[in-house]
Amino acid sequence: MVYMFLADGFEEVEALAPLDILRRAGVKIYTVGVTGVYVKGAHDIVVKADIELPDIEKEKIDAVILPGGLGGTNNMDASAEVKEIVKYTADNNGLVCAICAAPSILGKMGLLEGKEATCYPGFEDTFKGGKYLKQSVVKCNNFITSDGMGSAYKFGFEITKALCGKETADKIKEQIQYGE
């Protein structure tokens, strides 16, 4: 099962583009309202989350996704529950995915130590012991990071490839006429 955290101030495209791609691939993914069931994005788009934090079944986690947006990142970073679930996922070799400012949460938690990752420029100083790469998407072991909204589709395809295989990711690319 895949859980995508949504907290007030999240960057809408960084959440909804990967969410759409993963659902097209048949992935069982739930949006999780961190700040309530109705979550307001950075550009005042309100999304109704599928579930809230207490509804997460930790023992069934395959992956977690943290969209960026400064407000959303700060709200996720302030949530002990979010960080506990992220750490649990990483400790159990689940896929941990973060885009834009959200990789800073992973960095501050020490989860990027010894790993390569990317983020929105200016947040790389939070990568305690990690190596920042100036790339749009970086996969290192069970971590996928991305630099921002412009790479949201590429981020979604990388997650799809990790969960469902390259063939499925390529099929979705073709269906939606994705061009690089």
Q: Indicate which residues carry an active-site annotation.
A: 100
Are residues 117 and 145 in contact, defined by beta-carbon separation less than 8 angstroms?
yes
Three-state SS at 103 = helix
Phi and psi, residue 56, nearest 5°: -70, 135
> DSSP class of residue 136?
S
d(CA 73, CA 79): 10
Identify residue 39 by its one-letter amino acid code: V
DSSP class per residue in 64-131: EEE---HHHHHHHHT-HHHHHHHHHHHHTT-EEEEETTTHHHHHHTTTTTT-EE--STT-GGG-TT-E
